[in-house]
Amino acid sequence: MAQTPKMTSRPASASPLFSIGSVASIFSASSVKKLFVASILPIAIVLIWQFSGNNGSLFGGVLPTPDRVASAWYTWAFGSRGMGLNPYSGTWFDSLVFSTTRVLQGFAVAVIVGIPTGILIGWTRMAAHGIDPTIQLLRPIPITAWLPFSIAVFGISSLGAIFLIALGVFYPVVINTTQGARHVERNLVRAAQMMGASRFDILWRVVVPASLPAIFTGLRIGLGIGWTAVIVAEMIAVKSGLGYVLWDAYYVGRMDVVIADMATIGLMGLISDQLILMVERYALAWRYVNANR
Amino acid sequence: MASIRISDLSKIYPGPRPVRALDQVDLDVAEGEFIALLGPSGCGKSTLLNILAGFEPLTEGSVLFDGERIGKAGPDRGVVFQEAALFPWLTVFENVTFGPRVQGVSKNVYDAAAREILALVGLADFAGSYPSQLSGGMRQRVGIARVLVMKPRALLMDEPFGALDAQTRLTMQELLLEVWQRLKVTVVFVTHDIDEAILLADRVCVMSARPARIARQIPIALERPRSIENLLSPEFSAYKADIMHEMRTAHGQGLVAAE
């Protein structure tokens, strides 16, 4: 169990920190050592940050020290809501749910549209000529540039944020899926034809599974962009969520909340990436078997 | 089992400088016969096999398969590829049953057949393994098994053992002889290995590169069943000398014609 699977084509960064079915390996000597080595730098940064502060802040009061951030975070998460006069007491979980829900909704839309579109573009010449150029034309427009458009069309609402997230996630998903479907090994397709597979069989039983590794690459990149998009959208186009709190807290000078918010976003990004990796390990089990030779 | 009749077959790849990959090839393969197509790389032997398989269209001439024009690729002509071309996301058993499953054969029918054939090629214990867990020789056994399970009328093999080490190759050649002896299926076997061609085939067709056609056909009268012991017999050496001479001549003519 402690031995890592040999997979030459798999990037090193693709191994989840914690994977299903390898609980034992988390506690193995090598994993503990890895975790220890990985913790040195972040702990050092936090300590230096803490001890270079004076009376709870750095840079003449601009930046709070980690202990102040931690206490603000605690209040934000577990404090009493009271009369609702302090927006940074007991509201953390709500903000988290708002943002996460939007990311999931936008991500779902992008995946449902992006994967079939990518497969079609990669596999059929008609879609490659008919759809791909339009996507390539729109892709250079950054999602931030879509903000005014989105507010004009959807108003100040969740829908605008979901639109931006879906758009941001769509591009990496569709492009990676296209790459996967376009580079299916020719002899695999021929082998399927030779065994009597119909056009649909070839698409469903050969092209789709052969594209899955590339699709997962797209999903991981896409989810990262999804978190970027939700923060940008909530800063401007919606009045709730982690992005809204980030900007709002900055305006009222609550840098402790700003930093706690940033840490929350980072943590959510990490967790969602790990979740995708777990799904990938399950869906692409064949890539993670121990090779015999 | 099936007969194949190739007449006046040409294949031209169009372009600014069209390439004549096959030039008026004639070949008859009898039912149950084992034919080896032998030649240097670039002589068009793989192109010929791809046309027989239905992967590529022909340009001129005709190919009759059991008296009918060959159509697109299908389970009546089982193809074994050089690199096995297994689906890496399927287990050995799933790879072997891919054909029956896409053809809508019921599980009770193909399940027993697949297990029997896996046993025949010596992979009964590896049904649940993924291709990445197998050696090159074992993968090629799967490649052969998935074709045999469809009971094809002809086997088309494109340098199937070309990527294997010498030891494994001998084992696989013996396995193929055994399987063929039992099933008596028509085989067209592409190779550039003279020993392999003589050991396996009833008839060796030596191909030349320019023009890309069959230079000479040499019937191999070695007694069957054969084994790798045959490689050491004087008759074998005589065939080998003859074919080497033929290949040198065919190659030489090609050079002259090209100038």
Cis peptide before B40 (omega within 30 of 0): no
Q: Where are the domains of chain A?
A: 92-287
Place of tokens 């399950």: A282
CA distances from B28 to A183, B34, B201 (A): 37, 11, 14
CA distance A14 to chain B (A): 18
Average pLDDT, chain A: 88
Assign B186 to helix, strand or coil: strand
Q: What is the pLDDT of residues A191-227, one digit of tens each?
A: 999 999 999 999 999 999 999 999 999 999 999 999 9
Q: What is the pLDDT of residues B10-63, one digit of tens each?
A: 999 999 998 889 999 999 999 999 999 998 877 889 999 999 999 999 999 999
Question: What's the token pair of residue B19?
Answer: 């390439």
- Chain B positions touching chain A (beta carbons under 8 Å): 53-55, 72-75, 77-79, 81, 83, 85-90, 98-99, 102-103, 129-130, 132-135, 146-147, 150
Nearest to A292 among B54, B74, B133 (CB): B133
CA distance B135 to chain A (A): 7
Q: pLDDT band at residue B190, thresholds of 50, 70 and 90?
A: very high
Q: What is the pLDDT of residues A148-160, one digit of tens each?
A: 999 999 988 889 9
Question: Is the CB of B83 less than 8 angstroms away from the CB of A291?
Answer: no
DSSP character at residue A241: S
The one-letter amino acid at A100:
T
Chain A residue with minimum CA distance to B79 = A194
Chain A residue with minimum CA distance to B150 = A195
Name the class of domain A92-287: mainly alpha
Question: Is the CB of B98 less than 8 angstroms away from the CB of A195?
Answer: yes
Quote the percentage of chain B above a pLDDT of 70: 96
pLDDT reading at A46 higher than 80: yes
Assign B176 to helix, strand or coil: helix
Place of tokens 């009749």: B5
C-beta pairs of A24-30 under 8 Å, 24+ apart in sequence: A25/A1, A28/A1, A28/A2, A30/A2
pLDDT reading at B116 higher than 50: yes
- CB count within 10 Å of CB A288 equals 20
Tell me which chain B residues have a C-beta less than 8 angstroms from the C-beta of A185: 85
Tell me which chain B residues have a C-beta less than 8 angstroms from the C-beta of A201: 102
CB under 8 Å to B74, separation ≥6 — which residues?
A193, A194, A196, B54
Q: pLDDT band at residue B247, thresholds of 50, 70 and 90?
A: confident
Question: Is the CB of A195 less than 8 angstroms away from the CB of B55?
Answer: no
- CB count within 10 Å of CB B168 equals 16
Tell me which chain B residues have a C-beta less than 8 angstroms from the C-beta of A292: 129, 133-135
Place of tokens 């054939």: B117
Q: What is the pLDDT of residues A9-35, one digit of tens each?
A: 444 444 555 554 455 555 677 888 888
Q: Residues A222, A168: contact at Cβ < 8 Å?
A: yes
Cis peptide before B225 (omega within 30 of 0): yes
DSSP symbols for A24-89: HHHTSHHHHHHHHHHHHHHHHHHHHHHHH-BTTEEGGGTEE-HHHHHHHHHHHHHS--TTS--TTS
Nearest to A289 among B55, B79, B132 (CB): B132
Question: What's the token pair of residue A175?
Answer: 């492009």
Q: Which of A62-71, A259-268, B22-31 has the lowest mean pLDDT?
A: A62-71
